[in-house]
A = this chain, B = another copy of it.
Amino acid sequence: MATINIGVIGLGRIGRINSRYLLRHPKGARLAAVSTRRPEDAKKFLDSGDNIKIYTDYHDLLADAAIDGVLVVTRTHTHHDIVIAAAGAGKAIFCEKPIALTLSQTDSMLAAVKKAGVLFQVGFMRRFDKGFAAAKQRIEAGDIGDPIVAYAVSRDPNCPESDWAAPSNSGGLILDLAIHDFDMLPWLMQDEVERVYAEGGNLACPELAAVGDIDTAIINMRFAGGGLGYVEAGRNCRYGYDIRCEIRGTDATLQIGELRDTPIMALTPHGVTHDTVAWFEERFTPAYHKQLDHFIECIRLDKPPLVGAADARTALRISLAATRSYHEGQPVTVAR
């Protein structure tokens, strides 16, 4: 079995989660190269030994003929140029979500990918989570009857840094955070979102107002087939990383989520207490790993990934419509 050589572009938090996993040689792949603006940090992080090339310009990494596939895990606004270059270089591409902040950028990226005929996977890792995957499987098996109502909560424990959160950089709360729910809900409802209405506000991280972002949003959704959905996305809930989803069907309802990390309860005169999930790595690291396994497997078997270009576009369309609805104070039809 030939080794699959992976190049990682960007060594931020997500880049490191993925690199750490690649260092374990999953599914016959290896971390062949990284591209980063801080090569010294990379050396330290990688601890050498494994003959990994460190580039400071991603073009050089893309020019490396030994590389089979790349992970684009840089900041969102840089994805467009990198993905187009990677497609031009004929690499299989994994791109972190959101792949871009606009539909036009998205479309030019997807066109480049299509033209080059390269594999393209988008980083909606929740699809690989045990809980969400079990829900999908049961819904497809008909266990809940027809899915009719979808609900999701995504709460971050802290406030993001303002620079990072600025809409020009992150796309804003809805695009950055609720986009995961906008991927999950249509997938689980097996339907398209037709109309959204969003309320939002600066309630938990007042400093974000200065960079033009909100910290809390409630989004109402109507699906094409008549089903309904709603999403709460919020920063700084303080108690942990709280990701929940609920799908009501005509026969039964599924609730996905887990707020406990350590299997221990304390029974004290002040009540019964368990801990919470601290942050997304505690909750989704196995999903990040399975997502990468899938990318490697798709490269090896030359098959299309389960979460591809169309999915990236779908979630982005809903996110953009919801963001617009928030600004306009009116329901917005989701663009095709």
Contact = CB atoms under 8 A, between A and B. Distances in A.
Given A248-B234, A264-B131, A228 B240 contact: no
A268 interface: yes
Interface of A: 1, 23-25, 28, 47, 49, 129-131, 134-135, 138, 143-144, 148-149, 151, 155, 195, 197, 199-204, 216-218, 220-222, 226-230, 232, 234, 237-240, 242, 248, 250-276, 329-331
Contacts of A148: 201, 203-204, 216
Given A199-B220, A239-B252, A252-B267, 9 more contacts: A23-B25, A138-B266, A144-B266, A201-B226, A216-B228, A218-B229, A237-B267, A239-B268, A251-B269
B276 A265 contact: no
Q: Which 9 pairs between the two chains have the least Cβ-Cβ distance?
A: A258-B263, A131-B263, A24-B24, A148-B203, A252-B268, A239-B267, A253-B267, A271-B273, A255-B265
Nearest to A147: B203
User: Which among A131, A218, A230, A269 has the greatest number of chain B C-beta atoms within 10 A?
Assistant: A218
Nearest to A259: B272
Contacts of A271: 239, 273-276
A238 B273 contact: no
Contacts of A217: 228
Contact of A232 (B230, B239, B257, B269): B230
B237 A248 contact: yes
Given A220-B220, A272-B274, A264 B135 contact: yes
